[in-house]
Amino acid sequence: MRNALLSLSVRWVACFATILTFAQPRDFVGDEFARLSPAQAKKTLVDFRDSRLAGDLCLRIEITHKPRQGESSAPIKGILWAGFTEAGQQMRGEILDAQGKLRLAFTSTKGAKSSSVWVSHGGQSATPSSDAQFAQPVADGLLLSPFDLHLPFTHWGDTRYLTTERSRGRPVHLYEALNPQAPEPSKVIFALDRTYGALVQAVCKNAKGEVTRTLQVEEFSKVDEQWILGGCSVRDEVSRDADVLRVTDAALGLKLQPEIFRPESLTSPASLPLSFKKL
């Protein structure tokens, strides 16, 4: 069951593990577009960062490149695992080639104190991802990168509340996060839905303040009475080309083994759960 509107229990943390947790509607009184006080803005951000999954999950995904002109590419398939430990939000991603073999794999951890990403290409030993590698597409012909799945900006230290405004008819809180390391993106403006605390948009800007990239949540889907991310898009604002990521199958309520998120495990595909359900 798919629904393009936010509804019931949803919060987008990774892919994303920044991508997917679940929340209850927030209570607020008065003008839903009113600015937050400093205390409210801090609490909203802390609550978002402290989000937790109702169990671990595994998703089958398809990524389609849609150029501004011309035909869309054939979908590239992949798998995402997400969970939590004391170290923070964890994710594993596998991108497959046309024969279903492992093309690229990565694992990431994102917490209040530190973040890390390890990447393996074609079954080779994983190495820590540099800023340049972090921004490289997960496959030739795509825009989507580990940065778009890991979403490190949600935990950057220099983050401040900007305002509350309307986005697609809903009230959202805008936060500005400054990049502490790499020159690009220089900053990211991300939007949290006021009612559900869900990440619904992220806009990357360069040092000149120009918008270079936009990530947009497109839809949510209901699986086992829980709402999860159903699809999102990443658009290059210069070329106007875009990638669309769609979740095709989901397995929720899992208890993943810690080994699945360890860098040394990336040389071979991880075992898949048997409880997938189609969206």
pLDDT of residue 21: 45
Which of 25-29, 181-185, 238-242 bottoms out in mean pLDDT, i.e. has the lowest? 25-29
Instruction: Identify the CA nearest to 17 among candidates 84, 113, 87.
Output: 84
**Per-range mean pLDDT, top range of 132-141, 178-187, 210-219:** 210-219
pLDDT of residue 158: 95
Q: Indicate the average pLDDT of the chain.
A: 84
β partners of residue 119: 106, 127
Task: Give the whole-angstrom CA distance, residue 274 versus residue 270.
Answer: 13
Q: Sorting pLDDT into bands at 50, 70 and 90, what band is 30?
A: low
Chain centroid to CA 247:
12
- Structure tokens of 174? 């805008």
* Helical residues (DSSP H) of the chain, grouped into ranges: 38-49, 131-134, 146-150
- Structure tokens of 21? 């947790």
Question: Is the Cβ–Cβ distance between 236 and 213 less than 8 Å?
Answer: yes
Domain-by-domain residue ranges, the chain? 2-278
Task: Give the whole-angstrom CA distance, residue 210 versus residue 113.
Answer: 29
Topology classification of domain 2-278: outer membrane lipoprotein receptor (LolB), chain A (2.50.20)
3-state SS, 178-190, equals ECCCCCCCCEEEE
Chain centroid to CA 253:
19
* pLDDT tens per residue across span 227-271: 788 899 999 999 999 999 999 999 999 999 999 999 999 999 999
155: which DSSP letter?
G
Task: Give the whole-angstrom CA distance, residue 189 versus residue 118.
Answer: 25
Q: Sorting pLDDT into bands at 50, 70 and 90, what band is 19?
A: very low
Tell whether the model's pLDDT for residue 20 goes beyond 60: no
Which residues, 6+ apart, have CB-to-CB distance to 96 below 8 Å?
76, 77, 78, 79, 102, 103
Tell whether the model's pLDDT for residue 194 goes beyond 60: yes
Task: Give the whole-angstrom CA distance, residue 103 versus residue 57.
Answer: 22
pLDDT of residue 131: 66
**Per-range mean pLDDT, top range of 127-136, 150-159, 178-187, 236-245:** 236-245
Q: What residue ranges in the chain does DSSP mark as E strands?
A: 2-3, 56-66, 76-85, 88-96, 102-110, 115-121, 127-128, 159-167, 170-178, 187-193, 199-205, 211-223, 226-236, 242-254, 277-278
Tell whether the model's pLDDT for residue 69 goes beyond 50: yes
Question: Is the Cβ–Cβ distance between 213 and 205 less than 8 Å?
Answer: no
Residue type, 82: A
What's this model's pTM, rounded to 2 decimal places?
0.83
Average pLDDT of the residues in 100-125: 86
Residue type, 60: R
β partners of residue 216: 201, 233
